[in-house]
Structure 1
Amino acid sequence: MSQEQLGLKSGLSRPYISELEMGKKDPSLFTIFKLADALKVKPSFFINEVEQAVSIP
C-alpha cells in the first residue's frame, strides 16, 4: 500500500505518514489506532513490532 493510499484510508496526510516511516515523528495513541484500522490489524501489532526492534523482554 502506498503512503497516499494509507493516508486516504486513515485520514492522515501522506507527508505525515512519510515522517512516521522515517522516524521523524512519533505517533500518538490515536494515530496508532487510525493506522491499525486502515491496515486491518490490531493496534498491538505496532507495539509488538517496537518491542522486537528494541529487544524488550
Structure 2
Amino acid sequence: MTKGRKEPIGAGAILALTILGGTIVGGLMGQPSAGLLAGTALGIAIAVLLWLWDRGK
C-alpha cells in the first residue's frame, strides 16, 4: 500500500444486508426467490458503486 493511502471501503455487510432484506421482503410478498435475486442485484450495484467511488479517490 502506498504511503498516505487509506484502507479500501468494504461492502460485504451492505451486500449481506441487501440479500437478507430482499429475501424477507420477497417472502412477505410470496416471492422469496425473486426477493433474493433483487436483493443480490441491488447489493452488487451498491458494492460496485462504492468500489468505483473509492477507486477515484
Pick the structure with more helix per residue: 2
TM-score, normalization by structure 1: 0.31
TM-score, normalization by structure 2: 0.31
